[in-house]
Each structure stands twice: as structure tokens, then as C-alpha cells.
A and B are shown apart, each in its own frame.
Chain A
């Protein structure tokens, strides 16, 4: 077991990854936060209170996605340089520990540090706006709200895809991941619509029945329970896909690291 995972060794890899990437990570976070804060402040005096509050509220998620995807898509930078790659592969730790360290930093580590810095910038923006305007004010943003959690649930599978992309593409992985991601979505959308058509025919969701259940119709005829089960199995499949997508791509990323070893 110690060959595959050792907690102390994992902490050492985490420490190494943190120290070697902290400068560029902080630079990235602070740059994006500064740019968006600048835009926010520049538009402050040309806008009304409602837009300002909405913009302020959305800013957290816009920047979160922007920076989060960038970090994940550019992770494992060692593999894009021959000498760095050699040093990384010779580090006495298992590929699982190396993978988990990067996964931790690009998910939980990123969420904590980003939220912290966003909070600081939020307070600074609040101070600047209130000192220049008596009528306008920016609310302190609470990142622990339902919108953020829902967004994170969507962000995680996307993060996994970009992390897998970072281990797959040697040059500009972010660009190629975006490209392949869109191609995949196109193919996926096409296949999914074909599957739905094949399974359900011309299904339409109808009225609410007497027992408050939804009545489904197929070309005007009410669907039987077995037909509905067919549809539900697709929904169950879609549900599992949403939850399995992230682990699947994380496993792909880990296997890609193992592949680089050989």
C-alpha cells in the first residue's frame, strides 16, 4: 500500500507543488481580480444600483470559472518541458500522490485561495465605491450561497475534463481542450438526441394527472408506466453521467500521468 499512497509523502508532494506554483498562481488570481475590479470601478459611476449589485454578485462566479479552468487546463506544466518532466518523474513519490496533489490544488486549494482573495478585493471595492459615491454601494458577497454550490457542481466535471486535457496535450493544452471539448459536446449532443428519439419517439410532457403525477403522451396517446420507466432509465443514466463524468476524467488524467512514466 505504501508503494501507491503514503499520506506523509503526499503532503511532501503537495508542499512541493504549492511552493513551485504559488508565485504564478497568485499572479494569475491577483491579475484577474484586479482587471475585473478595475472594470467594476470604472463602470460604477455610469450605472445604477441594481446593475452594480448584479454585476458584483456574478463577478465571483465569472472569475471563479475563468481562473479555475485556466489553472486546471495548464496544470502539470512539468510535462511540457523535457528537463522538468524528468525531474518530476524522478521525484520519489507515486503517480497517485502526484496526481492527487495537483487535483487537490486545482479544486479545494483553488476554491479556498480564490474565495479568500475575492473577499479581500470585495472589501477593497466596497471601500473605494463608498468613498466616492454616497448613493452607490456594493454588498459584501457571501460565497456560501446556493448559486455558488450549484455552479461548483457543474464546475467539477468541467475541471476534470480540463485536468485530463492538461495531461494529454503537450502544447497549449488549454486551447486544445477547449477545441476538443466543443467537438465532444457537438458529437455528444448529436448522439444524445438520436438516443432520445430512438427510445421515446415523439414524446411530449403533458398535463398533471389526478394523483399529481405527470402524464406523458406519445403522438396523442397517454404513455404506459413501462414506457415512462424507459424514459426514466435514460434520466437515471444522465444523472449518473453528471456524477461520473468527473471521476472518469480524473482517472483518465491519472492514467495519462502513468503513461508518461513509460
Chain B
């Protein structure tokens, strides 16, 4: 669905944020885009959205290049940015103005999403709180039925019930011909919801695996500090014990601790990458 080939990009002349980055993002999945501050998550989303221009390389969505920024390309996605500015009009007016730009927009679905987020449809956009605005944008983005939905820190500013509603809506709306890309630091908010983990580090895709594959290959356990298995791939101190990642030799089921996995990846743990490469 999204093909990124040999992408290079730099904000400064002598420092390339991305250097020959390659990534393929498949449809029908919810992708979690993770990385430390400054790893380039937002920049990558902007590059795919055509808001930044690559120095080298190419980005395509269904064969259309981001460089062309054609209306067809732009209507392929909806981007819920972390920082945004909404016009001082009512939700209804916004709907009438912007919905026609997206051919598959579902007005009934939009009303339902707003209802689930507890946002009255006659609200004035600029008078709503940050969290309400975010929920409005998420509802609008989902209702566009665009092929790709980019979400940059979507749970920032959302209260606890709204986070739960967000998770339900995302899980309910993913279809075979759509892809959702969630860039976040709030790993716990998207845990159990994402299908793929993509980790960006030092301008490279450091890790990209399906959750089913991770579950097949790894087991996440709490172990005793004095009884560390020899085949341990990564561990972290907990209050009384250790949180560990081990090879899933017996094909056991264990909930994936994405935060632990992320820490293991960015610590440049050779055991982990080697384990995936060997299997």
C-alpha cells in the first residue's frame, strides 16, 4: 500500500535524518510507529503525507507518488496531527465544507463516532477543549473512509473513557483495504490494538514485525532476579523481580509487553535481532 524506497531526508545540510530508508506498509493492519524523541516519526508521516519533500528516493501510495501531491494522492489519506488548528466554525459547517472532498465519507458513521465520544454535533470547533478537538478529528478521519489514516499521538489529551472509545473505534474500523498508522510514545494506549510494530531509530527502520510473529517468537515473562535463564534475550529490573524477553521455545501464549520490547530494540540488543534473523 505504502512503498518507501531509498528515502533520504534532511532538515540540515550536514545531517541526514533519513538515509536510504526502505519501508513497506501493508493494508488491512494497524501499524504502531514507535521511536525515541527526534527519531523522525512525525517527519516520516509528513513525508508520506507529502508535507515534506524527500531529498532522494520515492514514496508511493497505491502507485501515486508523494512528490506529485495530486488531489487523488491527498484524498487517499487523512492525517490527525498532534498539533492542529481548527477553523472557528460549527461541526456541522465543517462537515458540509470538508466531507465532500472525500468521496467515501460516511456522515452517519461520523455522527455515531461523535456520539460515542460525547461531542454534540452543533459545537463550535474553536471553543472546544484540545481533547474534544482531537476526538472530533479522529471521528472525522475515521468517517472519511480514506485508505490510510495517520494518527500522530492520537491519545494525547484524551481522558480515560475516551481512550477506551478510541481503541474500540480503531479496532472496529480497520478493514482489508485500509491501513492505520499510529505514531505514539504512549505505548500502553495502543498495546493490544496494533498488528505491526515499526521502530525508528537513527534514521533507520530498526525493527518491523507483525504482532503474531512476535508472539510466536518471543515470550514476555516476569522472572526471579536470582534465577536468570541462560537463553534470556533481554531483561529489565522491576520492583521485586525482572521483566524479561525469552525465546518462545514451547510456543506459549503471553501478552506482548510492547514497552519492554521497545526498550529491548532501542538498547540495540543484538540477541533480539539475531533471534528474529535466525528464525
Contacts and interface: CB of A to CB of B under 8 A. Distances in A.
A219 interface: no
A83 B100 CA distance: 22
B89 A19 contact: yes
A89 interface: yes
Given A19-B89, A19-B97, A92-B101, A83 B84 contact: yes
A231 interface: no
Contacts of A20: 87, 89, 97
B97 A84 contact: no
Contacts of B68: 3
Interface string B42-71: 000000011101000000000000001111
B144 to A, nearest CB: 10
Contacts of B100: 12
A95 B69 CA distance: 9
A91 B74 contact: yes
Interface stretch (B23-31, B75-83, B171-179, B226-234): B75-83
Contacts of B87: 20
Contacts of A81: 85
Contacts of B49: 90
B83 A83 contact: yes
Given A83-B83, A92-B74, A16 B51 contact: no
A93 interface: yes
B71 A94 contact: yes
A262 interface: yes
Interface SS of chain B: helix, strand, loop or mixed?
Answer: loop
B81 A19 contact: no
B86 to A, nearest CB: 8
A262 B53 contact: yes
A90 B85 contact: no
A83 B69 CA distance: 18
A6 B75 CA distance: 14
Interface of A: 2-3, 6, 9, 12, 15-16, 19-20, 23, 81-84, 86-87, 89-95, 97, 261-262
Contacts of B11: none
Q: Lowest 8 A-B CB distances belong to which pairs? A: A92-B75, A83-B85, A92-B74, A262-B53, A3-B70, A92-B101, A92-B71, A16-B97
Given A3-B71, A91-B101, A86 B89 contact: no
A262 B50 CA distance: 8
Contact of B71 (A15, A84, A93, A261): A93
A26 to B, nearest CB: 13
Interface in B82-113: 83-85, 87-89, 93, 97-98, 100-102
Contacts of A9: 71, 101
Nearest to A262: B53
Interface SS of chain A: helix, strand, loop or mixed?
Answer: helix
Query: Which range contains the number of B residues in contact with the other chain?
Result: 20 to 34
A88 B49 CA distance: 12
Contacts of B122: none
Contacts of A262: 53
Interface centre among B75, B79, B97, B102 (most CB of A within 10 A): B97
Nearest to B97: A16
Nearest to B67: A262
B50 to A, nearest CB: 8
B72 interface: yes
Nearest to B73: A92
Nearest to A17: B97
Nearest to A8: B100
Given A12-B100, A12-B101, A19-B89, A89 B51 contact: yes
B74 A6 contact: no
Contacts of B98: 16, 91
Contacts of A94: 70-71
Nearest to B75: A92
A3 B53 contact: no
Contacts of A95: 69
Given A6-B71, A92-B74, A94-B71, A87 B85 contact: yes
B101 A86 contact: no
Contacts of A97: 71
A158 B64 CA distance: 39
21 contacts: A3-B70, A12-B100, A20-B87, A20-B89, A23-B88, A83-B81, A83-B83, A83-B84, A86-B51, A86-B84, A89-B69, A90-B79, A91-B101, A92-B72, A92-B75, A92-B102, A93-B74, A94-B70, A94-B71, A95-B69, A261-B50
Nearest to A18: B97
Given A19-B89, A83-B85, A89-B51, 7 more contacts: A9-B71, A16-B98, A20-B97, A91-B98, A94-B70, A94-B71, A95-B69
Contacts of B93: 19
A13 to B, nearest CB: 9
Nearest to B82: A83
A128 to B, nearest CB: 33
A100 B251 CA distance: 62
